[in-house]
Amino acid sequence: MSLTANPKTKSALDKVLLDNTLTPQVSRKRENPTLHVMGTGLMALAPGMLFAAAIEWGSSTSHDEWALVLSAIISFVVGVGLRTTTKIEADLQPTSVFSIVAWTWVACSVVGALPFWFGSMFGWGSFDAALFEAISGFSCSGSTVIPDIEANGRGVLMWRQLTHWYGGMGVVVLAVTVLPHLGVGGLALMTAEAPGHSSDRIAPRVSETARRLWTLYLGVTVAILLALWAMPSVNLYDAVAHASATAATGGFSTYNNSVAHFGSVWVEMILVTGMIFCGISFALHFRALREGPKTYGRSGETRWYLYLLFGGIAVITFLNQVTLDVDFGTNLRDSVFNVTTLVSSTGFANARPDGIGDFVLWAGAAQMIMLGFMVIGGCTGSTSGGSKVMRARVLAHQTVRELKRLRHPRGVFTIKMGRRDALPETIVASTLAFMAMFFFVTLFGTIAVAAMGVDLLTAASGAISSMSNMGPALGEAGPTSNFLAFPRPARMVLATLMLIGRLEIYAVLLMFASMTKSIKLRAAAAANSTGRP
């Protein structure tokens, strides 16, 4: 863009650069929304780290409290520094929003990895492992590279659980407010779909919307926490840890056996309820609080989500009953838990010696269905991952429409979702493009991982699981295993996929766009000032 452009049409970014380069600065604060929001995010991490340090200090399970305190100080100081030296411009461009979201997530993951790195979890030579764990936490994936979880201190493990909770906080606002507003991958459909659970109807301002959503998120977490704490086999620490992971549909646990450690069907049912709830749009929950539970029935996506969930449970239970030597009660319990954990993209495991919770040992057809669940995931506006039920609906409708067109090539067919008018073609195209992108990125991830010597099933399911922020994969990286099955470079590929999947692909792909544009404009400004063409 030329610097001689009409001042009325120039973007805010252009204004920033022009002001910085051609006119004297009025304020000492530099306009940089990315660094400003990043600073806020880093500051917010510090209380969580201090809370975890207090637990560590109180439990005396290890001496990682200093790692947590040091990380909290770094996080706070860097956060304050960034926040006080920068400010947000008035008119943000879409590229800036993508940049803000993606870089903040990356920064939080890097700083969030510090307690794992400074502490005794991995050691100084394994920052990549610490970073993987943090990215997995903040992206609410739940994949782990810790060989023995229970050998670590309670505080550092609590921080690990809190990375999920922080990630969930970010996801809620991102999924309900930011991405639909930008129309990422057809998410504008959220505002078009009946009964409409768009963010702008929750509150007039984004900050107010975020505040209300976080209140709801906190309420859900507390509800799950109290329900878990009421169980005799769960103490307060475990309740907090697992409630955080459930609300964020993350999947980290403080035990090697994950949820199977409790050996309680009631604990599993509480978690199942929590996972189902958190797999539904938080904006819809908010609306349901005001308008009653019938709101859920009016949401087509939620209906599809529940059909998918209960249909999946029925089919998987049937397949397991036919193919595995197991009694019906155990089969139903484990099928319900594992289908829910994958549909909601949580990733808890309940593999007990007397059960069938390790779905890697299920029949191939049942594993195929589970792989499908990994791809689809939960609802838009929820904390769950995957390509989302909404997009699966659009794809299904589009396929039917193409078949109709085949029969009647000159017919005009529209896609209707719910009782609303025909879906705009831009949203359909956007959704289809998102799916194409999802497919391409997953394929590249699979090839990259397989190139490092991982077998096809493990590589492909690992890539899908990471893109969908699922947690466990199939093959060598199933629910009773971990991502140590992948070589170190492959783990970094998978961690990147987790970020890409969490930020709905485009944010990560466009995170450099704002920087590139900024560099170009600066170069243009410099050239202009020196009179060079």
Partner 1 sequence: MYVRYPAAIAFVALGAIAVLSGLLDVTKGSNAAPELLLPGAVLVAIGAYELQRLPTPSAVTATGVYTMVVWGWVVAICTSAPIYLMAQATTRVDDALFESTAGFTTTAATTLVPEDLPRGILAFRALSQWTAGAAALLVAVVLVPTFTGGIERLIIGSRRQAMISPSLRGGIRNVSLLYGSLTAAVLVAYFAAGMGPFDAMTYSATTVSSGGFANHSESLAFFDSATVEWIATLTMFVSAVSAPALWWLLKRESPALVLNSREFRLYLASFVAATSALATWQWGWGGGTAIRRSALAVTSAMSTTGLVAAPLPSFDTGALVILLGLTGIGTMAVAIGGGFHYLRVLEAWGIARRELQYQVHPRSVRVVKLGRKQALSEESLNRTNGYVMLFVGFVTLGAFVVALSDPNLNIGYAISAAISAISTSGPVPAAEGVMIDPGEFHGAGRAALMVLMVLGRLSIYPVILAVGGLFVRLIHLRRTL
Strand partners, 30: 86
Task: Confirm or reject binding of residue 425 to partner 1 (CB under 8 A).
Answer: yes
Which residue lies nearer to partner 1 by CB, 282 or 362?
362
Does 519 participate in binding partner 1 (rule CB under 8 A)? no
Instruction: Kindly tell me which of 10 and 401 has the beta carbon lying closer to partner 1.
Output: 401
**Dist. CA 423–CA 266, nearest whole Å:** 42
State yes or no: residue 455 binds partner 1 (CB under 8 A): yes
Does 175 sit near partner 1 (CB under 8 A)?
A: no
457 belongs to the binding site for partner 1 (CB under 8 A): yes
Between 327 and 402, whose beta carbon lies closer to partner 1? Answer: 402
Distance CA 61, CA 516 (A): 47
Nearer to partner 1, 230 or 519 (CB): 519
Q: How many residues bind partner 1 (CB under 8 A)?
A: 56
| DSSP helix/strand/coil, 314 | helix
Which residues are CB-neighbours of 259 under 8 A, at least 6 positions away?
A: 242, 253, 267, 268, 271, 337, 348, 349, 350
Whose Cβ is closer to partner 1: residue 44's or residue 524's? 524
The amino acid at residue 504 is E
Q: Hey, which residues between 384 and 423 contact partner 1 (CB under 8 A)?
A: 395, 398-399, 401-403, 405-407, 409
DSSP state of 423: P
Regarding 365 and contact with partner 1 (CB under 8 A), the answer is yes
For 382-405, b where at least 16 C-beta lie within 10 A, e where not — what string?
A: bbbbbbbbbbbbbbebbeeeeeee
Please answer whether residues 377 and 389 qualify as being in contact, where contact means their C-beta atoms are separated by less than 8 angstroms. yes
- The site map against partner 1 for 307-336 (x = CB under 8 A) is ------------x---x-------------
Query: Interface residues for partner 1 in 80-99 (CB under 8 A)?
Result: 94-95, 98
Listed ranges 31-39, 75-83, 127-135, 181-189: which one lies at the site for partner 1 (CB under 8 A): 181-189
Q: Contact, 521 vs 529, CB < 8 A?
A: no
User: 349 and 261 in contact (C-beta within 8 Å)?
Assistant: no
For position 183 contacting partner 1 by CB under 8 A, the verdict is: yes
- Under rule CB under 8 A, residue 338 binds partner 1: no
CB-based burial label for 371 (10 Å; 0-12, 13-18, 19+):
middle
Closest to partner 1 by CB, 68 or 474:
474
Q: How far is the CB of 455 from partner 1 (least distance, A)?
A: 5
| DSSP of 65-86 | HHHHHHHHHHHHHHHHHHHHHE
Whichever of 291 and 455 has its CB closer to partner 1, that residue is 455
Beta-carbon count within 10 A of 352 CB: 17
Give 229 or 512: the residue with its C-beta nearer to partner 1.
Answer: 512
Given candidates 155, 180, 185, 472, which one binds partner 1 under the rule CB under 8 A? 185
CB of 275 to partner 1, least distance (A): 24
Q: Does 454 bind partner 1 (CB under 8 A)?
A: yes
What is the SS3 assignment for 13?
A: helix
Minimal CA–CA distance to 279: which of 377, 190, 369? 377
Comparison of 44 and 433: residue with beta carbon closer to partner 1: 433
Segment contacting partner 1 (CB under 8 A): 118-126, 155-163, 182-190, 335-343?
A: 182-190
**Contact assessment for residue 96 and residue 516, using Cβ atoms and an 8 Å cutoff:** no
> Judged by CB under 8 A, does residue 450 bind partner 1?
yes
Q: Per rule CB under 8 A, is residue 440 in the interface with partner 1?
A: yes
Q: Which amino acid is at 306?
A: L
- The candidate with the shortest Cα–Cα distance to 191, out of 429, 436, 417, is 417
Return the range that interacts with partner 1 (CB under 8 A); candidates 8-16, 239-247, 502-510, 522-530: 502-510
Is the Cβ of residue 243 or residue 510 nearer to partner 1 in the bound state? 510
Q: How far is the CB of 134 from partner 1 (least distance, A)?
A: 27
Residues 173, 382: contact at Cβ < 8 Å?
no
**Helix (H) or strand (E) run with residue 51 in it:** helix 33-59
Would you tell me which residues interact with partner 1 (CB under 8 A)?
A: 94-95, 98, 182-185, 319, 323, 363-365, 367-369, 371-372, 395, 398-399, 401-403, 405-407, 409, 425, 429-430, 432-434, 436-437, 439-440, 443, 446-447, 450-457, 459-460, 474-475, 506, 509-510, 513
